[in-house]
Amino acid sequence: MFGSQRNFKAFEHKVWLSSPTMHGEEMEYIKKAYDTNWMSTLGENINEIEKQVSEKVVMKYGVALSSGTAALHMAVKLAGIKRGDRVFCTDMTFGATVNPVVYEGGIPIFIDTEYDTWNMDPAALEKAFELYPDVKAVVVVHLYGVPCKLDEIKNICEKHGAVLIEDAAESLGATYKGKQTGSFGDIGCISFNGNKIITGSSGGMLLTGDFGDYEKTRKWSTQSRENAPWYQHEELGYNYRMSNVIAGVVRGQLPYLEEHIARKKEIYQRYKDGLKGLPVKMNPYDEKNSEPNFWLSCMILNEDAMCRQVRDDCKALFLPEKEKSCPTEILERLADFNAEGRPIWKPMHMQPIYRGNGFVSVSGDAGADIFDRGLCLPSDIKMTNDEQDIVIDIIRNCFE
Ligand SMILES: *Cc1c(COP(=O)(O)O)cnc(C)c1O
């Protein structure tokens, strides 16, 4: 089986999907925090990254928080979501996009995916507003760093008076019509989790153009203290502020954002060239209007190139077939060679926890289809060209 692959040896060092890429300055800013004793959720590193990120994205205010999830939670609160309120959410995404809606007692309604950018389908969103005209917030994702159809989504939100929350956790530095993702909505959320394009090891940021929202986020994320000599509380509080040590890591990373994007783009392009001739496509984007950050390179198999593959809730099986393959086979082969791929985010409407929630589609179920035929490829900045060429060969072999 898998004949010519016997000629390859497994990678000695694991080839990662996307791991942290450090540059040295991170340590200097961590050390500065230590030497000046700002070992707290206050300090120069925090102030600096709030300034730098809000300037980069071009949103007036940034609040550094403990995670992207915390930023999304604060965003849902700012949107005024209360128990029983429905919120329209991107369906094919990481659970952290939608869980914060539930923290506030809201009910996520999932909007199906379109094939042009693998993001929220504006036609399905329009239909969702017909079905639930009272909805007042939309959470939209730029999946794998590819901007969604922002013009259409923003127009629909404006038409229906809904708050637009951008989950830009994966898309820092990506642009749509020359403008940064995270700056289109009322609120933008970024993640500095360990595998994101810029990392603090953890962390996140909320971006807003509204001073009132900025003040509320700062207050809520530091236990909602009122202006009093003692701990006075009128509102529910959270411990969501970022540490000044973590902010030091982010601060050291930020100068390398464009370099990281350039390398990620090169990886995407090398896959695109290397996989030519196979019955597959790379994850698509609007080449005219958008410039992704290429956080993860993904591919999708043509329908007629799929061997039989079945997935239940927690396991997958496939039947190998000549000249055909499937994500399960490719991911298993990559793992055999010590390389890390990943299935596409399993759509939220297919998750047991959310199976009872609404799901709105105009095209059947594009999310389930992309989940079935797609996968994320090793996209680590530190992967060498030689390693990537072997990854490409491993994939090619799956189709022999
Ligand atoms: C990473 C991620 C988040 C959550 O960010 P954390 O910092 O890990 O809490 C939210 N949404 C998406 C789409 C993500 O990829």
Mean pLDDT within 33-41:
97
pLDDT in tens, 123-152: 999 999 999 999 999 999 999 999 999 999
**Torsion angle, CA of 364/367/371/374, rounded to 10 degrees?**
100
Bridge partners, residue 203, by sequence: 67
Return the best residue to mutate from 191, 206, 242, 376 for the ligand 1 pocket (most ligand atoms within 8 A of CB).
191
% of the chain with per-residue pLDDT over 90: 98
Q: How far is the CA of 94 from the centre of ligand 1 (A)?
A: 7
Which residues, 6 or more positions from 233, have their beta carbon under 8 angstroms from its beta carbon? 223, 224, 225, 226
pLDDT in tens, 148-172: 999 999 999 999 999 999 999 999 9
181 lines ligand 1 (CB under 6 A): no
Q: Do residues 347 and 335 touch, judged by C-beta distance below 8 A?
A: no
At 1, is the pLDDT very low, low, confident or very high (cuts 50, 70, 90)? very low
Contacts 24+ apart (CB under 8 A), 215-224: 216/77, 216/78, 217/63, 217/65, 217/74, 217/78, 218/63, 220/74, 220/77, 221/63, 221/65, 221/70, 221/74, 222/41
Position 336 pLDDT exceeds 70 = yes
- Per-residue CA distances from 194 to 44, 68, 265 (Å): 22, 11, 19
Position 73 pLDDT exceeds 70 = yes
Between residues 7 and 174, which one has the greater pLDDT? 174
pLDDT in tens, 312-324: 999 999 999 999 9
Q: What does pLDDT average to over the chain?
A: 97
Q: How far is the CA of 99 from the centre of ligand 1 (A)?
A: 11
pLDDT in tens, 280-312: 999 999 999 999 999 999 999 999 999 999 999
Q: Hunting for tokens 């994007």 — which residue is that?
A: 261
First to last CA, the chain: 10
Mean pLDDT within 378-400:
98
At 121, is the pLDDT very low, low, confident or very high (cuts 50, 70, 90)? very high
Q: Do residues 72 and 92 touch, judged by C-beta distance below 8 A?
A: no
Q: How far is the CA of 346 from the centre of ligand 1 (A)?
A: 14
41 lines ligand 1 (CB under 6 A): no
Return the best residue to mutate from 94, 101, 143 for the ligand 1 pocket (most ligand atoms within 8 A of CB).
94
Q: Counting Cβ atoms within 10 Å, is residue 315 exposed (0-12), middle (13-18) or buried (19+)?
A: exposed
Q: How far is the CA of 379 from the centre of ligand 1 (A)?
A: 17
DSSP string, 152-209: HHHHHHHHTT-EEEEE-TT-TT-EETTEETTSSSSEEEEE-BTTSSS--BSBEEEEES
Q: Closest ligand 1 atom to the C-alpha of 67?
A: 7
DSSP run (H or E) holding 139: strand 137-141
19 lines ligand 1 (CB under 6 A): no
Position 101 pLDDT exceeds 50 = yes
Position 232 pLDDT exceeds 90 = yes
66 lines ligand 1 (CB under 6 A): no
Residue closest via CA to ligand 1's atom 14 equals 169
199 lines ligand 1 (CB under 6 A): no
68 lines ligand 1 (CB under 6 A): yes
At 7, is the pLDDT very low, low, confident or very high (cuts 50, 70, 90)? low
114 lines ligand 1 (CB under 6 A): no
Q: Do residues 66 and 241 touch, judged by C-beta distance below 8 A?
A: yes
Give buried/exposed letters for 324-343 (b at 16+ CB in 10 A, else e): bbbbbbbbebbeebebbbbe
pLDDT at 3: 47
At 9, is the pLDDT very low, low, confident or very high (cuts 50, 70, 90)? confident
| The overall pTM is greater than 0.85 | yes
pLDDT in tens, 44-71: 999 999 999 999 999 999 999 999 999 9
Position 264 pLDDT exceeds 80 = yes
Q: How far is the CA of 93 from the centre of ligand 1 (A)?
A: 9
Rounded CA separation 167/67 (Å):
12
pLDDT at 363: 86
Q: Residue type for 37, please?
A: N
Q: Do residues 334 and 391 touch, judged by C-beta distance below 8 A?
A: yes
Pairing type for strands 308-311 and 359-360 reads unpaired
DSSP string, 357-370: S-EE-SSS-HHHHH
